[in-house]
Each structure stands twice: as C-alpha cells, then as structure tokens.
Amino acid sequence: MNADYLWDRSGPVDEHIADLERVLAGHAFTGRVPAELMREPRRLPWRDRAIIAAGVLLVLASLTRYWIVRTPLVPRAPISWTIASSTGTYTAETPGPTKSPGGHETGQWVETSAGASVRLEALSGGIVTLNADTRALMVDMGNTTQRLELAHGSIYTEPSKSDTPIEVVTPVGIATIAPGTACLITYDKLKNGSVEVKRGRIEFRTQGPDTQVTRFGAGSTATIAFGRLYTPRRGDASPELIAALTAYESPPPPGAHRLGWTDIPPSVLQAAGTADEITLWNLMHRTDEDGRKRIIGRARELTKSMWKLDNDALLRLDDGAMETWWQMLESR
Amino acid sequence: MTVPAASPAPAEPPSGERDAALVAAARSGDRGAFASLYERYARVVHAVLLSAGVKAEAEDLTQEVFVSAMRSLSSLKDPAAFGGWLLTSARNRAASFLRHKAAAPPLRLVGEAAPTTTTREGLNAEDVMSAIRSLPEAYRDTLVLRLVEGLTGPEIADRTGLTHGSVRVNLHRGMDMLRAKLAEVNP
C-alpha cells in the first residue's frame, strides 16, 4: 500500500485504493447549500414597522392615562393601626384643616376622656390599650414597625402573637417594646409618670446627639419626674435601695451631668443586692468612667460570673459587652 | 505492512479561530459566513451519516442537520467548537433516523436497476460500504472521508480536530482492516 497516496494522493497511485475511490465516488456528497440557509431573514418594510410602533405607543399611552385616572391624588389612608374596641367616649381627629369624615385610621390623634379606654390593634398583631385621659397619635410605619406617639396619659401593651416590636414615642425618649411584653407607661400633663414592666423588655433611648439608654426587664419599674426618666429598679426592691436612689436622684443635685447624676453615692451601691443588677446596669449609662469602675466593682462582689465580662469593654460601654451582661442578668 | 510513525503535526491554520469568526458572523445574520461553514463541513457531516448507516437519504439529512444547526446557533457556547458540535448533532440525527427507519416497512423500488460500478474483484459500492460500516467508528469515519468524500489526510485532520498522526493511524489501520473484510466477502 502506498502510504503517501493514501495520505494525500501524492506519490505513485495505489491501484487498490484508486479502485475503491472509483467505486465509491457515486456516494460522495454533491449537495449544494440549501436555499433555506441562504435566504435572508425576513424583515418587515419600514411602513409596517412604523405602524406597529405607533400601535405600541398608543397602547402605552392608554395604559398610562388609565393609571393616572385611577390613582387618587390624595394618598390612601394608611392601615397600620385600627381601633378594635372602646369603652366610654373618645375623639379621633386628623391633623390639619381636614377632619376625617368617619372611621378611625392611622394618622389620627385619638383622645380618650375620663373613664374611657380604646383598644388599638396593629396590622402586625400588636395590641395597645389607651387608658383614660390619654392622647396618642397612630403613626403609619407599614407592617414592620408599630409606632404610637404618646402626648400624655397612660398606655398598656399586652403580649400578643405579633413578633414585631412596638415603638412608643414619649417625651422622655422612644420606647422600644419587645414582642411579648406587658407594660404600663404613664406620663401626665405635669410631666410626671412611671414605667412598669410585668414581663418582657423595654428600652428607652433619648433623642439627640448623646443618646442615653434606659432598659427595663421583667418586674422592673422607674419613676418619671419633671420630664426625666429615673433609674429602673426592681418593683420589690429593698427600702434601703429605694431610699438611696430617691435621695440620690430627686431632686437632681446642682451641676449634675446632663445625662444623669455622675457621682454615684456609696449608699446606692451598698444598698444594691444580688437581685438589683438591672439598677447597676442602668447606672452604668448615667455616670462617668470613675463611677463605672465602682459599679463594676460592686457587681463583681455580688455576682461571681461577672469575671466572664471584659472589664475594659464595660468601662467604655461597649454595646456587645453590655448586651452580654444584660443577657446574663436576665437569665438569673 | 508497517504503519508509519506519527509525525509531528505541521503548522496548521487555526481552524478553531476560523470557525469562531464564521460562527460570529453567521450569528449576526451573515448568510455568506454560514455558507462557508457549510462548504467546509457538509462533506464531513455526509460522511458521518454514511458511516453510521444512512444510505440514500444521507444528502437530505445533511441539509437538515445544517438547517437545524443554523436555527440553534445561538445556543452554541464555544464558537470555536463548531465542528465537534455539528458532528455530534449529525451522529444524533443519524441514530434517530435509523431508529425510525427500522420501525417503518421497507420501500420496494420499481423499475430497471441502474448499472453499477464494481471493483476489479467484482464488488459493488454497497459491498464496500458494508465492509467499511463494520469497522470501528474511528476507522470507518476516516475511511469514508478519504475514500468516498475525497478529502486528504490533512483536510480530515483540519475538519475533525484530530491530529495528523491520529488520522494517519486511522487510515492505515482502517485500510488494513478493510482489505481483510473485503477478502472475506470475495475470497
């Protein structure tokens, strides 16, 4: 066999291969490029394209006009809060010159009269009761946050199936009420009141450049006096601690730190027992570094597990360290 | 007969790049580019169909394979692999066709049979094709491209992506096996 001929038909002709080529030549491909492959893609003439484009524009314009006509110029009434039930008399009014013709919806001020109460339900399931002589604004925050503004009076939140916190804007700060919390917040027209938490957790944060944090756990309470939220304590705190805190906080000493009373007296720390960690935790936010050193020292005397916490982080009020301490005290 | 050692492949034109350029042009609507791809690969597709067992219908099926390829050209991920993609499509089409043909009743030809060409040993084309089809796929495809479609070894390597050495080996071993088969048919 002539290898060169087999490879590229070079060299002497190999008779046997040439014989096979001759016999098989009738099977070789002879087809031409199919016409379908060579046909140019069909294109519409310019006139037809212009007609189609005009039709599309007409449809779009019609849809836009329909949307404009159907969309009200006044935003729809928000539905974050609804008045579920009431006792006694109350008024509901829309801020501004336009009064709501009927129904009570988010965006309205609700004011209860003496002996009356109104039960509000949030879209997400939260339940708040406005007690007598209370004025509050139902604020629309969608279904992710339920917010009320408390001008004065008393509100009670009760545990519900909602897993969304309730925010209550008060003159002493914004209270974030955790789901499952039962609490009572009062604030009268003379700027006095109290916070009582039966179960759950509330955190108050003052507004402004220097935020002060005040946190309540189950069974804790605090007084509001002269528009100032005092340090939380257990509802059944010892008479010694109550007396020491009262002497310390009321009235504020001259030259007190504007966020609190910087110089924590030894009487308060000595009166605090092992069950008063909530008070110590909150005092940390109301004093300077020297005060915090003494608070931490007292907490270490009362609770051995305090060694788990980073001393320096606590001194600088590190959020993570303070949160860990809170979770430890809550679990005890 | 001894099989020549596979020599290193000479500098070949970058067929993958050439195919990629033609595919890109064809995708953008250049019918001339697709015609170039057709000219380049039609005989290879035809050879694959013949080799698989398709007979009289091979030319029609070749055109069908190309029409189908043109319609689905946008699904080809690597334009440089056009050749392999097309040949795979041809093999699938042949398998599908033969399955359906096996299920259908055979047609009987009516009329006078055309005169047939035979080898010096008296074998006609169908005898030789049957012998080729009985060979392993690599050998039969290469032999059909060489003996039927008339491509040279370098052209076969260029179209199929095989190295020159592989094509050389396929041709020589295929021819040896074909000779033995034909000797069995016509001792």
Residues 6+ apart with CB under 8 A from B72: none
Per the CB < 8 A criterion, the answer to whether A314 and A284 are in contact is yes
pLDDT for B5 = 39
pLDDT for A256 = 53
Is the confidence at residue B28, as pLDDT, over 50?
yes
Q: Judge if pTM exceeds 0.90.
A: no
* B140 interfacial to chain A (CB closer than 8 Å): no
pLDDT in tens, chain A (332 residues): 788 899 998 888 999 999 999 999 888 988 777 776 666 555 566 777 788 889 999 999 888 887 776 655 444 444 567 888 888 888 887 654 334 444 455 667 889 999 899 998 887 778 899 999 999 987 765 556 678 889 999 999 988 777 788 888 888 888 999 988 999 999 998 888 999 999 999 999 876 656 788 999 999 999 988 778 889 999 999 999 999 888 887 765 555 544 455 577 888 899 999 899 999 999 998 888 888 999 999 999 998 888 889 999 999 999 899 999 999 988 87
Question: A224-233 burial, b for 16+ CB within 10 Å, e for fewer?
Answer: bbeebbbbbb
Do residue A29 and residue B58 have CB atoms under 8 angstroms apart?
A: yes
Q: Give me A194's structure tokens.
A: 């109290």
d(CA A325, CA A288): 18
* B87 interfacial to chain A (CB closer than 8 Å): no
pLDDT for A98 = 39
Do residue A23 and residue B66 have CB atoms under 8 angstroms apart?
A: no
pLDDT tens digits along B47-106:
999 999 998 889 899 988 988 888 888 888 888 888 888 988 898 889 888 888 777 655
Residues 6+ apart with CB under 8 A from A43: none
d(CA A96, CA A304): 58
What residues of chain B lie within 8 A of the CB of A38, using their CB?
A: 31, 35
* A34 interfacial to chain B (CB closer than 8 Å): yes
Q: Give me A319's structure tokens.
A: 């959020």
Q: Give me B46's structure tokens.
A: 């035809």
pLDDT for A102 = 42
- Show the DSSP H helices in A157-276 as ranges: 239-249, 266-271
Do residue A33 and residue B149 have CB atoms under 8 angstroms apart?
A: no
pLDDT tens digits along B14-27:
677 888 889 888 88
- Residue scoring higher pLDDT (B126 or A98): B126
pLDDT for A164 = 81
For an interface test with A, give the residue of B60, B63, B68 to mutate (most A CBs within 10 A).
B63
d(CA A121, CA A166): 11
d(CA A329, CA B105): 89
